[in-house]
């Protein structure tokens, strides 16, 4: 299996795809070793966040060239953006999850491997809009880090909502329940409520979620658990989206002792107090 690695996926190997930008910001792609890919199985390693629109278009440019050489194309994208709008909640909404899957399939991707994909219920093999998807989970790696962090001290794993409950199942943990407010135009906004009674009095807690975007979910979950007597709280997530500056600080200020994410998203301005757990992609 040959690998094509873009500069945005440099933490998964040495880049061998050239991506540049013209003065007007349009993207330019060059795959110097393209001829050596003839009829070979290849895997493209790329990152689609931050700047998802641009990264997706660059991926389509790469695929457009690679599929002239080989039909056997796999794609590794650790964080799949546009996955949160996975159904038409309000009539007239576009379902971005399907659009992305259709695009990838039509551009020749035989299989996508990703991590903790928002629209999938658990790790495993799935198909959406004709695209084959292997959904892996960083749950084990995150729990391993929590074990190391707490050392001999016992802790409980808790997920803030049922969507992320599979994170806790293997760690004998618990899932809380979450509701969000919806604005008139349909965009999900701040987390309205976290509910769920778990005995956390005097216990150390590791909260695990798939994504931290605005941080609203995590902050509410920390407050909920603190109000019920939780002792030390650490927070881990697969994807550190951190949609705005200051979100990580907000989580730390809300009584979180440690914040850790994986290297699924590589941000240049990541705060130094955030610990990064490397995904084991083998
Ligand atoms: C959604 O239900 C996910 O599991 C996360 O809890 C959510 O995406 C986090 O978003 P935010 O950080 O904006 O609350």
Instruction: Report how far residue 18's alpha carbon sits from residue 70's, in angstroms, rounded to the nearest whole number.
Output: 19
pLDDT at position 184 is 55
pLDDT at position 179 is 87
Residue 183, classified by CB atoms within 10 Å of its CB into exposed (0-12), middle (13-18) or buried (19+), is exposed
Tokens matching residue 123: 């790790």
pLDDT at position 88 is 97
80, 142, 209: residue to mutate for ligand 1 pocket, most atoms within 8 A of CB: 209
Tokens matching residue 83: 């996955």
Q: Report which secondary-structure segment, H or E, holds 43.
A: strand 42-45
Segment 32-63, tens digit of pLDDT: 999 999 999 999 999 999 999 999 999 999 99
pLDDT at position 53 is 98
Q: How many whole angstroms from 19 Cα to the centroid of ligand 1?
A: 31
- 128: closest CA among 116, 117, 139? 117
Segment 152-210, tens digit of pLDDT: 999 999 999 988 888 887 777 889 999 887 665 556 667 778 988 899 999 999 999 99
Tokens matching residue 271: 């705060």
Task: Please state whether beta strands 174-175 and 131-136 pair in parallel, antiparallel, or not at all (unpaired).
Answer: unpaired
Contacts of the segment 270-275: beta carbons below 8 A, 24+ positions apart? 270/240, 270/242, 273/248, 274/240, 274/248, 275/145
Taking a C-beta distance cutoff of 8 angstroms, is the pair 49, 36 a contact?
A: no
Task: Establish whether residue 210 lines the binding site of ligand 1, counting it when its CB lies within 6 angstroms of any ligand atom.
Answer: yes
Task: Establish whether residue 222 lines the binding site of ligand 1, counting it when its CB lies within 6 angstroms of any ligand atom.
Answer: no
Q: How many whole angstroms from 60 Cα to the centroid of ligand 1?
A: 28
- 240: closest CA among 36, 45, 49? 49
Segment 76-133, tens digit of pLDDT: 999 999 999 999 999 999 999 999 999 999 999 999 999 999 999 999 999 999 999 9
Task: Establish whether residue 116 lines the binding site of ligand 1, counting it when its CB lies within 6 angstroms of any ligand atom.
Answer: no
Closest protein CA for atom 5 of ligand 1: 211
Q: How many whole angstroms from 215 Cα to the centroid of ligand 1?
A: 7
pLDDT at position 183 is 64
Q: How many whole angstroms from 214 Cα to the centroid of ligand 1?
A: 8
Average pLDDT over residues 16-31: 98
Task: Establish whether residue 117 lines the binding site of ligand 1, counting it when its CB lies within 6 angstroms of any ligand atom.
Answer: no
Q: How many whole angstroms from 98 Cα to the centroid of ligand 1?
A: 20
Q: How many whole angstroms from 220 Cα to the centroid of ligand 1?
A: 11
Instruction: Report how far residue 189's alpha carbon sits from residue 179's, in angstroms, rounded to the nearest whole number.
Output: 10
Task: Establish whether residue 58 lines the binding site of ligand 1, counting it when its CB lies within 6 angstroms of any ligand atom.
Answer: no
Q: How many whole angstroms from 175 Cα to the centroid of ligand 1?
A: 14
155: number of Cβ within 10 Å: 21
Atom of ligand 1 nearest to the CA of 247: 12
- The single-letter DSSP state of residue 219 is H
Domains recognised in the chain with CATH numbers? 2-136 (3.40.50.2020), 139-277 (3.40.50.2020)
Instruction: Report how far residue 116's alpha carbon sits from residue 248's, in angstroms, rounded to the nearest whole number.
Output: 20
Task: Establish whether residue 235 lines the binding site of ligand 1, counting it when its CB lies within 6 angstroms of any ligand atom.
Answer: no
Phi and psi for 40 in degrees, rounded to 5? -100, 155
Angle between helices 96-106 and 52-66 (to 10 degrees): 20
């Amino acid at each position: 299996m040959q690998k094509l690695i873009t500069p945005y996926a440099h933490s998964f190997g040495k880049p061998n795809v050239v991506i540049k930008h013209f003065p007007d910001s349009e993207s330019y792609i060059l795959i110097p070793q393209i001829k050596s890919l003839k009829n070979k199985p290849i895997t493209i390693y790329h990152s689609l966040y931050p700047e998802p629109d641009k990264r997706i278009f660059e991926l389509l440019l790469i695929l457009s060239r690679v599929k002239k050489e080989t039909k056997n194309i796999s794609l590794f994208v650790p964080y799949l953006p546009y996955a949160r709008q996975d159904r038409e909640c309000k009539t007239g909404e576009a379902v971005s999850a399907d659009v992305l899957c259709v695009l990838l399939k039509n551009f020749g991707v035989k299989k996508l491997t990703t991590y903790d994909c928002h629209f999938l219920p658990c790790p495993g093999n799935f198909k959406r809009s004709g695209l084959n998807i292997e959904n892996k989970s960083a749950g084990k790696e995150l729990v391993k880090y929590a074990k190391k962090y707490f050392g001999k001290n016992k802790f409980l794993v808790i997920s803030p909502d049922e969507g992320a409950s599979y994170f806790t199942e293997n760690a004998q943990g618990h899932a809380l329940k979450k509701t969000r407010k919806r604005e008139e135009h349909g965009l999900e906004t701040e987390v309205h409520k976290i509910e769920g009674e778990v005995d956390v009095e005097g216990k150390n807690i590791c909260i695990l979620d798939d994504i931290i975007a605005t941080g609203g979910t995590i902050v509410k979950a920390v407050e909920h658990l603190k109000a019920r007597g939780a002792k030390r709280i650490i927070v881990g997530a697969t994807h550190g989206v951190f949609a705005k500056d200051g979100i990580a600080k907000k989580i730390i200020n809300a009584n979180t002792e440690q914040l850790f994410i994986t290297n699924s998203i590589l941000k240049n301005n990541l705060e130094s107090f955030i610990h990064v757990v490397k995904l084991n992609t083998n």
